[in-house]
Chains A and B, each alone.
Chain A
Amino acid sequence: DGGITQSPKYLFRKEGQNVTLSCEQNLNHDAMYWYRQDPGQGLRLIYYSQIVNDFQKGDIAEGYSVSREKKESFPLTVTSAQKNPTAFYLCASRKQHQETQYFGPGTRLLVL
């Protein structure tokens, strides 16, 4: 089945630790996106990538990093510089020249 997968479903981070969230898609979509969702705030864009080996900061990029070495994969690292990482993280992808983004199931990150 074609789709977007995210792992893990739940992730626990200790103080000072970097953690990486996985996002993979087999839809042959060109662009990929990372959003953060907090209660009552909708989705906020962290980073996005329109082509391999290129990515841009979104509205809340501080404390996060990404890479796009393969078209199918867009991992997000939450660094220790992100002081309030507890949130629901959603990955999305989009085919070139289309507006609709399709979402993965999300990763819930909790701080211990």
Chain B
Amino acid sequence: EDKVVQSPLSLVVHEGDTVTLNCSYEVTNFRSLLWYKQEKKAPTFLFMLTSSGIEKKSGRLSSILDKKELFSILNITATQTGDSAIYLCAAPGIEGGKLIFGQGTELSVKP
């Protein structure tokens, strides 16, 4: 059965800290991995990763994929209180483009 597992499930840090969120996967015919940020309502798209070792970066957020070890990490440097959210990773399944989601990591950044 295809699955995506995230760790940790929750994390509390202070402003300015750097955090690393983990996502491992076992997905048949793996094609890509997606990261989303969810602040109370709709998840918003962050990154899509398809190739190993190529870092995607957006401001203080960056992500990389390791297709050999079947995992991805999302790094956030110099965290701010506005980074507090649930971070979701997902991989497309075989049928209908449906996404298989991990449980999410709830990040709380304290001032």
Contacts and interface: CB of A to CB of B under 8 A. Distances in A.
Contacts, number: 56
Interface in A28-73: 31, 33, 35, 40-45, 48, 50, 56, 58
B31 interface: yes
Interface residues of A, number: 24
B104 A99 contact: no
Given A42-B101, A58-B98, A90 B42 contact: yes
A103 interface: yes
A43 B98 contact: no
A3 to B, nearest CB: 10
A43 B87 CA distance: 12
Given A42-B104, A106-B42, 10 more contacts: A42-B88, A42-B102, A42-B103, A58-B98, A99-B31, A99-B34, A100-B34, A100-B48, A104-B42, A105-B41
Interface string B67-111: 000000000000000000000101010011111011110000000
Nearest to A9: B41
A45 B97 CA distance: 11
A71 B74 CA distance: 34
A105 B99 CA distance: 18
B53 interface: no
Interface of B: 6, 9, 31-32, 34, 36, 41-45, 48, 88, 90, 92, 95-99, 101-104
Contacts of B99: 33, 43, 45, 101
Interface of A: 4, 31, 33, 35, 40-45, 48, 50, 56, 58, 90, 94, 99-106
A90 B40 CA distance: 12
A103 B98 contact: no
B96 A90 contact: no
14 contacts: A4-B42, A31-B96, A33-B98, A40-B104, A41-B103, A42-B88, A42-B101, A42-B104, A43-B88, A44-B101, A50-B97, A90-B43, A103-B44, A105-B41
Nearest to A96: B97
A48 B31 contact: no
